[in-house]
Amino acid sequence: PVVTRRADYTAPAWLVPEIALDFDLDPRRTRVRARLNVARNGAHDAPLRLDGDGLAPLAVRVDGVDADWRMDGATLEIALSGDAHEVETEVEIAPERNTQLMGLYASGGNLCTQCEAEGFRRITFFPDRPDVLTRYQVKLTAEKARYPVLLANGDPVASGDLDDGRHWAEWHDPFPKPCYLFALIAGDLAANRDTFTTRSGRDVEVAIWVRERDLAKTDHALHALKTAMAWDERVYGREYDLDVFNIVAVDDFNFGAMENKGLNIFNSRYILADPDTATDHDYDAIAAVVAHEYFHNWSGNRITCRDWFQLSLKEGFTVYRDQKFSADQGSAAVKRIEDVRTLRAAQFPEDAGPLAHPVRPDSYIEISNFYTATIYNKGAELIGMMATILGAEKFRRATDLYFDRFDGTAATCEDFVSCMEEAGEVDLTRFRRWYSQAGTPRVTARLVHEAGSGRAMLTLRQTMAPTPGQPVKEPMVVPLTVKLFGADSGREVAPEQLVLLSEPESEIAFESVGERPILSINRGFSAPVVVETDRSAADLGFLSGHDDDPFARYEAMQQLMLDTLVSSVQRGRGDHAPVIDAVRQTLLDGDLDSAFIAEAVLLPSDSFIGDQMAVVDPDAIFRAREALRRDLGRELEGEWREAYEAALANRFEYSPAAKGARRLKNVALGYINASGAPDAASLAFVQFEQADNMTDRQGALATLASGTSDKRVAALDIFYNRYSDNALVLDKWFATQALSSRDDTAQAVEELSRHKDFTLANPNRARSLIGAFAMNQRAFHDAAGRGYRFVADQLIALDKLNPQTAAKLLPPLGRWRRFDKDRAALMRAELERIVATPGLSKDMFEQASKSLD
């Protein structure tokens, strides 16, 4: 397979200032006519090369005359004599046979597109690279009864009916864009419409398009959209630029959503919500993704990427923007905790494994494999660190400069950093290593206090383990916010300061520290690093109860729990008392809100505990965690019941306070259940039956699904029957079972893969079973290799339909180095079986072969 390298970038030989596209839409046979105005870019005599994938030209004309052309593999090559020509091509494609869901495909009776990263070449011949920016005119023609709604990018300009039952619509997008932002929809859809007035007084028609029967589930997304539009004006000074903004929801989608100019296309799971079918988490995710895609209009569309190595330029920045947006809608502290948990669950393991890559990668085989937590979430942390270093005011000046200077262009990560540097008046030379070096820095912090002199010395040391292709690492710039508390008084003894660690080692002195200090470090998670300290259980307990930075408080509790769990795994049994005391203190703290308490008292996941160990022992980790859960449940049973009952009376409402109450209620239910209390299952079952919202219903179901009570099967059946016609809720039914901590989960999941409602053809469904199961550490890592074999079988089957989604599910199988040699051998054997599969996609080949190295 061909490796694409960042260092090989050259500007496009031909530009395409304008395109006219004419679609004759039909699920079996769609005719695409494209008329490109091409312009030679610079002095050269290279032919015009147009990317294609699975296309055969039916006609090729240059300036109206049949032209000479040849196919070089999938690429159409045309020799051109002048500097500007009109090139026309015609192809035929079959949307309904498109199971990859890239290009033009059918979903639920509608026709839709997905072009990022390289799907446009499956629709028509074109220079499919993000630095070719083109003005689009699009005409869609289709059968009116079947596809009454015809949408494309930009603004609608004309439409009409034909005699044969077909109709047409024309759309113009005045903003030049790369072809990955092209989109069209033909379908039987209804709209929830509204108007947004921009701050300069322009009216924008906004609409969310779904199946008629789903209309009632679109209010939350529509509200989120308008909130996001106003937020981007206020916080970044960015206004929307077209007369219409359309969002369409489809059921079959490879990821969350897509920011096509003026026509965002969404996975329906990130649009549809009502209390009966969506959890609070779903509501939050919908608002975040709607905002994310909207924010791309500036960070992604108005300024796009020069090449795909710069992907984090738009994704890291846009994730940073959506995270801040969400933080502004509720508790910023809880949002930060959630974001860090995601980073640690998805990105740290990536950085520590065979697929580690820099935020700005140097090479790829298949770009789809690089839509990763590193590009997105670590990329967002890089922006956050620069914002911290610059401070709010200069950061805003820097983003203004960036939007101004690069509007209408295809830019690079370097362009962004240089704006930060210029407007921020800082030197980010060394900071740039965050873009080029993979891996998570590890910072050791040692605090030594001399009682006599009142001086405290903080020694910070950083290291970074080698990653594939990067055996030696240079020191990074790590912004750490630090503060000291007095162990006796509990008060601040040194105010918060920002330390920029940029050498392998550095020392910071604090004077006039009269009592033994306790270190609070990486407050707010100011840097995406692992911090190792030698703080005692008592000091962590103190911080978990008293630190004035909510994240640091949460973190101290997590560290205390982790230390306890790791020592239980290593020594068979740990001292649970300090954790129990700290949890009690947090539970009873009247100044804390429920959402924060619920986050703080949650034990770290099995896999995060595993990440702390040299060799992961899934069974020992599970036992240690269950033992601590049981003790927490028993020792604090009264407190859990009180917290549970306090939240019982509430009726559903989507507000930060009500969400927090539900979250704490469900965490409490889990602990009551862990205590082994005889009434725990009936408590869960009553909640399950009486819930007026999905958060409570699914929370109870998850508790029951991991237990042994006879209510388990009853609840699963009731849930299934109640929601059997709702695909998104059935996904939850599959995932809940795949995440169960029961001993027979692997077997249950195999059976579920034969269930009549299971299909690999729908990515959400595939992820709900296969993806969820591979996250269930103990079940997936069954010592006999049953889980590995099952997942490999499924991925091999899925690869034939949808390589992109299959390859995304591979990484858990690639982490064999973290396990004992028997498990490692079993995992490797499955990876080898995958690599040896005839007809394997390059997506899977890249993921599996890199994982074997």
Give the active site residues.
293
What residue ranges in 178-290 does DSSP mark as E strands? 184-187, 190-197, 203-210, 244-250, 257-258, 263-267
What residue ranges in 400-516 does DSSP mark as E strands? 410-411, 442-450, 455-463, 478-486, 492-501, 505-510
Q: Give the CA count within 13 Å in the CB-facing half-sphere of 68.
A: 4
Indicate the residue among 304 and 777 with the shorter CB distance to Zn ion: 304
637-696 residues near ligand B3K, rule: CB under 6 A: none
CB of 118 to ligand B3K, least distance (A): 9
Q: Which does 255 bind (CB under 5 to 8 A by kind): Zn ion, ligand B3K, none?
A: ligand B3K
Indicate the residue among 117 and 701 with the shorter CB distance to ligand B3K: 117
295-324 residues near Zn ion, rule: CB under 5 A: 315, 318
The DSSP bridge pattern shows strands 4-5 and 70-72 to be unpaired
Indicate the residue among 293 and 581 with the shorter CB distance to Zn ion: 293
- Which of 153, 301, 368, 741 is the binder for ligand B3K (CB under 6 A)? 368
Q: In whole angstroms, what is the distance from residue 515 CA to residue 505 CA? A: 26
Q: What are phi and psi of 175, to 5 degrees?
A: -90, 120
Indicate the residue among 321 and 732 with the shorter CB distance to ligand B3K: 321
Number of residues engaging ligand B3K in binding (CB under 6 A): 12
Q: Which does 526 bind (CB under 5 to 8 A by kind): ligand B3K, Zn ion, none?
A: none
The DSSP bridge pattern shows strands 134-143 and 166-177 to be antiparallel
Indicate the residue among 326 and 594 with the shorter CB distance to ligand B3K: 326
In contact, 368 and 804? CB cutoff 8 Å? yes
Indicate the residue among 115 and 569 with the shorter CB distance to ligand B3K: 115
Work out the angle at residue 697's Cα, subtended by the Cα atoms of residues 691 and 702, and round it to the nearest 5 degrees.
150
Q: In whole angstroms, what is the distance from residue 539 CA to residue 602 CA? A: 19
Q: Which does 371 bind (CB under 5 to 8 A by kind): ligand B3K, Zn ion, none?
A: ligand B3K
Q: Which does 214 bind (CB under 5 to 8 A by kind): Zn ion, ligand B3K, none?
A: none
Site membership for ligand B3K, residue 255 (CB under 6 A): yes
Site membership for ligand B3K, residue 617 (CB under 6 A): no
Indicate the residue among 411 and 700 with the shorter CB distance to ligand B3K: 411
**By rule CB under 6 A, what string of x and - marks binding of each residue 232-251 to ligand B3K?**
--------------------
Q: Which does 662 bind (CB under 5 to 8 A by kind): Zn ion, ligand B3K, none?
A: none
For residue 723, the 8-state DSSP code is T
- Take residue 316 and report the two structure tokens written for it: 């890291």
Indicate the residue among 313 and 334 with the shorter CB distance to ligand B3K: 313
- Which of 48, 258, 616, 791 is the binder for ligand B3K (CB under 6 A)? 258
CB of 31 to ligand B3K, least distance (A): 26
Considering only CA atoms, give the Rg of the chain: 28
**Helix residue spans in 512-655 (DSSP H):** 537-546, 550-571, 577-587, 594-600, 606-611, 618-635, 637-648
102-161 residues near ligand B3K, rule: CB under 6 A: 116-117
In 3D, which of 435, 441, 438 has the Cα closest to residue 527? 441
Q: Give the CA count within 13 Å in the CB-facing half-sphere of 152.
A: 26
**By rule CB under 6 A, what string of x and - marks binding of each residue 263-292 to ligand B3K?**
-----------------------------x
CB of 314 to Zn ion, least distance (A): 6
Position 713, amino acid: V
Site membership for ligand B3K, residue 259 (CB under 6 A): yes
CA dihedral (652, 655, 657, 662) in degrees, to 10, reads 40
Q: Which does 368 bind (CB under 5 to 8 A by kind): Zn ion, ligand B3K, none?
A: ligand B3K
- Which of 26, 214, 315, 637 is the binder for ligand B3K (CB under 6 A)? 315
In contact, 141 and 31? CB cutoff 8 Å? no
**By rule CB under 6 A, what string of x and - marks binding of each residue 292-311 to ligand B3K?**
xx--x---------------
CB of 181 to ligand B3K, least distance (A): 9
Element (H, E) at 818: none
The DSSP bridge pattern shows strands 166-177 and 155-161 to be antiparallel
| Helix (H/G/I), strand (E/B), else coil: 60 | strand
Q: In whole angstroms, what is the distance from residue 662 CA to residue 668 CA? A: 10
Cα–Cα distances (Å) from 320 to 207, 313, 520, 523, 536, in that order, read 25, 11, 24, 18, 34
CB of 103 to ligand B3K, least distance (A): 12
In 3D, which of 559, 617, 566 has the Cα closest to residue 777? 617
642-661 residues near Zn ion, rule: CB under 5 A: none
CB of 763 to Zn ion, least distance (A): 17
Indicate the residue among 321 and 781 with the shorter CB distance to Zn ion: 321
Question: Among positive and negative, which fits the CA dihedral 207, 210, 212, 214?
Answer: negative
Site membership for ligand B3K, residue 364 (CB under 6 A): no
CB of 257 to ligand B3K, least distance (A): 6
1-30 residues near ligand B3K, rule: CB under 6 A: none
Helix %, strand %, coil % for the chain, to 5? 45, 25, 30
Residue ranges in contact with Zn ion by CB under 5 A: 315, 318
Residue ranges in contact with ligand B3K by CB under 6 A: 116-117, 255, 257-259, 292-293, 296, 315, 368, 371
